[in-house]
Amino acid sequence: MDYISGHLTDWLILLFLLGFAVYTLWIIRQESTTFLEDSYEVAFQHLSLPIPNWWSITRQENQLIEFQRTDTRYDWYARFEFFPAPPETVLTDVLAQKIESEELDYDKDDVSIETDSRVLFRDPATQAYFSEVIRVEGKASQRIEERTYFDLFLFRNKKENGYYICESRSSVLNGLVEGPFFEECLSLMKIKND
């Protein structure tokens, strides 16, 4: 008992930190359960995206929209971009160029690749609309020295004369926080009726 009373300040600091950690986990859990209720729709090109209310638009142009969390200091962003291109453009070549331009080297044992729109999108109309999809997700080294969590979606409908690149980039730990919301945003995406 003398040990505890002799280090009362240390114990109080420890209890405060543990309480703060539990509170943070509770807040994060609340975000995941209220994501759909609290999201707002963003129209981008032919897409309608459900966006979490804690994402802020930090850049918006005709063929680009970028989000960040401005309520925190997370090293994270999500970018949705449309690139005009002829129908014969090969998406695997676009993917290789993107990975090379970002100087990414994905961890071989921690990378996931998906090419089935039925797995990536929940809406049957969205699944049918995009004839080609590629998703690459995982931890990587960027420019050799920086560790990153990079989630990359490429998809297109050949009638649009172009393709979309949607990416979520963060530090490895922050990817575990925002990554699932990025994935959910795209899986719930719908095609706008113009």
Domain of residue 25, residue span: 1-38
Is residue 21 predicted with pLDDT exceeding 80? Answer: no
Residue 43: pLDDT band by 50, 70, 90 thresholds?
A: very high
Is the same domain home to 80 and 160? yes
Is residue 1 predicted with pLDDT exceeding 60? Answer: no
Output 172 or 13, whichever has higher pLDDT. Answer: 13
The sign of the torsion formed by the CA atoms of 15, 16, 21, 23 equals: positive
pLDDT of residue 42: 93
Is the same domain home to 53 and 132? yes
Q: State the Cα–Cα distance between residues 187 and 182, nearest whole angstrom.
A: 9
Report the predicted TM-score, pTM, of the whole model to 2 decimal places: 0.80
Is the same domain home to 79 and 64? yes
Is the same domain home to 71 and 159? yes
Report angle CA 86, 87, 92 to the nearest 5 degrees.
100
**What is the pLDDT averaged over residues 71-89?**
89
Is the same domain home to 34 and 44? no
Question: Residue 49: is it exposed, middle or buried by C-beta count within 10 angstroms (0-12/13-18/19+)?
Answer: buried
Q: pLDDT tens digits for 48-71? A: 999 998 899 999 999 999 999 888
Question: Alpha carbon of 115 to those of 10, 53, 91, 135, 142: distances in Å?
Answer: 53, 29, 11, 6, 24
Q: State the Cα–Cα distance between residues 32 and 9, nearest whole angstrom.
A: 35
Is the same domain home to 45 and 136? yes
Number of domains in the chain: 2
**What is the pLDDT averaged over residues 150-156?**
93
Q: State the Cα–Cα distance between residues 140 and 144, nearest whole angstrom.
A: 9
Is residue 82 predicted with pLDDT exceeding 80? Answer: yes
Q: pLDDT tens digits for 97-113? A: 999 999 999 998 888 89
Q: State the Cα–Cα distance between residues 127 and 132, nearest whole angstrom.
A: 10
